[in-house]
Structure 1
Amino acid sequence: MSLGHVAIIGFGAIARDLIDILAAQECAPDHLTLLVRPGREAEIQAALGTEASVTSSLDTVLAMRPDVVVECAGHRAVAAFGAAVLASGADLIVASVGALAEADLAAGLETAAQSSGAQCVVPAGAIGGIDALGAARLSGLISVDYIGTKPPGAWAGTPAEDVTDLAALTTPCTFFEGSAREAAQRYPKNANVAATLALAGLGMDRTRVRLVADPGTTENTHAFSVTSQALEFSMQLVGKPSLRNPKTSRSTVYSIARAVVNRRTAIVI
């Protein structure tokens, strides 16, 4: 069975990897459409050839009635296009989960989805255990604590540079402690895992987050612990950084691809 018509917003590291992964599936998309920034259409169309349609117009994308739209372009793209996609009746898979830390934006997406019957899908991304966390939430959560550790270079260009000299670090440095909402808003390219845990668990303001720059690692480590009325558990995942973007764990795109594939799978796990 085909994945149907898949539209992707963006053409960065995640989007490019996603295109390759979906094309390799037995149920590859019948058609692929990319929504990109104005002025890049010809360049990207030339790179992809006849593999996809490329446009900078959301109206053009929605007029083609895609089965699903996958956002892979950052917080601004979620704000600019998310509600319109959902209002059109197309399901939206959000990679930039941290955008939902903006309460008004999240409420707008929810309203648009409810009015059309579409779904806004948040994949697990670089983290695991979301099923156990979601189940524990129903029993009553007491605490959810997350620690995100990446090499110093992954935090370059972020507010971490304002509080520590990343290049001079010789030992791990915790440069942020606060809520998931604060983490997602201050580190939009690095804290999507914190936002995902918050949405599945205690919410943006009660999920506690620590962000660490560690010169002794080349990998992205996500660790969290949960205490609830039904169970207690902790989990640590060590993700390889994306070859195209070290701020992103390589596993993220596979989680997004799984969300796309599961839409057409008869038995879903």
Structure 2
Amino acid sequence: MNRTRTVALVGWGAIGRVVGTALAAGEVPGAELAAVVDNRPLGDAAPAPQLTMDQAIDACDLIVEAAGQGVVRGWGETILASGTDLLVASTGALTDEDLAKRLLTTGPGRVYFTGGAVGGLDLLQAVRAMGPLGEITLTTTKLPSTLEQPWMDEDLLGELRAATGPVEVMRGTAREVPVKFPKSTNVAASVALAVGDLDAVRVSVVADPAAVHTSHVIEANGPQGSYRFEVRHQPDAANPATSQVVPYAVLRSLAALCGRSGQIL
């Protein structure tokens, strides 16, 4: 019988609240929420003790990151070196190839990644095992307000705010785009992880004031075949930069890690 995993959840935001509430309610067999880590005092809002990261590492055997790329960069290696496992939601941090290599080789803890708001990654990994794909593109479309960034100049911000139809905000590789949109383009990094090449994935970020749904369209072609995946998600009401489905993808990954039977892996 699998042992119960003691889980620390990092981040009590739009993703963390859903994940933490489900864990506390026992909805993931084999997982127990033992701690919440957040840089704000949560008081009675969290259903588990609020600990520092150091305390959580000592108390738990699995850390779930739901707080952004900075946590992965700042704490990933420390968590893994302690022997604690790490489940990463903010895969955009892995566009730093040096960091990715260190996380994949640091132990004895193990690092895992959740697919988040996109599907088809398992198939892309299987196709990649047959050989490199020739062309991979990702088009992400979101509401303009969710794509505004501090680095944007007034001209670009004005174009976004005045848009009456779709506007391409940035085009680049999966190495370049997540750095510019750290809260909105983890999908680009996830696709690149699946195909094993940050530079092979061409990404287009589109702002559309009529975007009722957040959409991601992945297209891949090569000698193995042609593949197209399209998803359209409801944005999270509390944080429209992320999709409602993301915390449930994290919970599914947790269930797989904790040995729930009947999983599609």
Identify whether the pair has TM-score above 0.5, normalized to the shorter chain: yes
- Kindly state the Cα deviation for residue 202 of structure 1 after the two structures are TM-superposed: 4.3
Q: Which amino acid aligns with 2:147?
A: W
Can you list the C-alpha shifts for 1:27-84, whole angstroms capped at 9, x where unaligned?
Answer: 27434211222xx3xx313223xx301112x2211221x2311011111111111111
Q: How does 1:119-268 map onto structure 2 within 5 Å?
A: 119-140=110-131, 141-157=133-149, 159=151, 163-165=156-158, 166-264=160-258, 265-268=260-263
Distance 1:220 1:159, change over 3 A: farther
Match of 2:78 in 1: 84
Match of 1:7 in 2: 8
Can you list the C-alpha shifts for 1:169-202, whole angstroms capped at 9, x where unaligned?
Answer: 0110011111011011111111100000001014
Alpha-carbon contact 1:8-1:72 (below 8 Å) kept: yes
- Kindly state the Cα deviation for residue 257 of structure 1 after the two structures are TM-superposed: 0.8
- Kindly state the Cα deviation for residue 12 of structure 1 after the two structures are TM-superposed: 1.7
Match of 1:47 in 2: 45
- Kindly state the Cα deviation for residue 151 of structure 1 after the two structures are TM-superposed: 1.1
Using structure 2 for the length normalisation, give the TM-score: 0.91
Q: Which amino acid aligns with 1:239?
A: H
Q: Residue 135 of structure 1: SS of its match in structure 2?
A: helix
Q: Residue 227 of structure 2: SS of its match in structure 1?
A: strand
Structure 1: which 5+ residue stretches go unaligned? none
Q: Which amino acid aligns with 2:125?
A: G
Distance 1:228 1:89, change over 3 A: farther
Moved over 4 A (4+): 158-162
Q: Distance in 1 between matches of 2:208 and 2:173?
A: 21
Can you list the C-alpha shifts for 1:2-42, whole angstroms capped at 9, x where unaligned?
Answer: 853111112221111211233341627434211222xx3xx
Q: Distance in 1 between matches of 2:169 and 2:73?
A: 28
Q: Residue 176 of structure 1: SS of its match in structure 2?
A: strand
Q: Distance in 2 between matches of 1:242 and 1:229?
A: 38
Structure 2: which 5+ residue stretches go unaligned? none
- Kindly state the Cα deviation for residue 129 of structure 1 after the two structures are TM-superposed: 0.5
Match of 2:34 in 1: 32
Q: How does 1:82-121 map onto structure 2 within 5 Å?
A: 82-113=76-107, 116=108, 118-121=109-112
- Kindly state the Cα deviation for residue 164 of structure 1 after the two structures are TM-superposed: 4.6
Q: Which amino acid aligns with 1:246?
A: P
Distance 1:204 1:30, change over 3 A: same
Higher helix share: 1
Q: Which amino acid aligns with 1:214?
A: D
Q: Residue 45 of structure 2: SS of its match in structure 1?
A: helix
Q: Distance in 2 between matches of 1:267 and 1:257?
A: 15
Alpha-carbon contact 2:22-2:28 (below 8 Å) kept: no
- Kindly state the Cα deviation for residue 268 of structure 1 after the two structures are TM-superposed: 2.8
Q: Residue 149 of structure 1: SS of its match in structure 2?
A: strand
Q: Which amino acid aligns with 2:73?
A: A
Alpha-carbon contact 2:61-2:83 (below 8 Å) kept: no
Q: Residue 53 of structure 1: SS of its match in structure 2?
A: coil
Q: Which amino acid aligns with 2:51?
A: T
Q: How many residues align?
A: 258
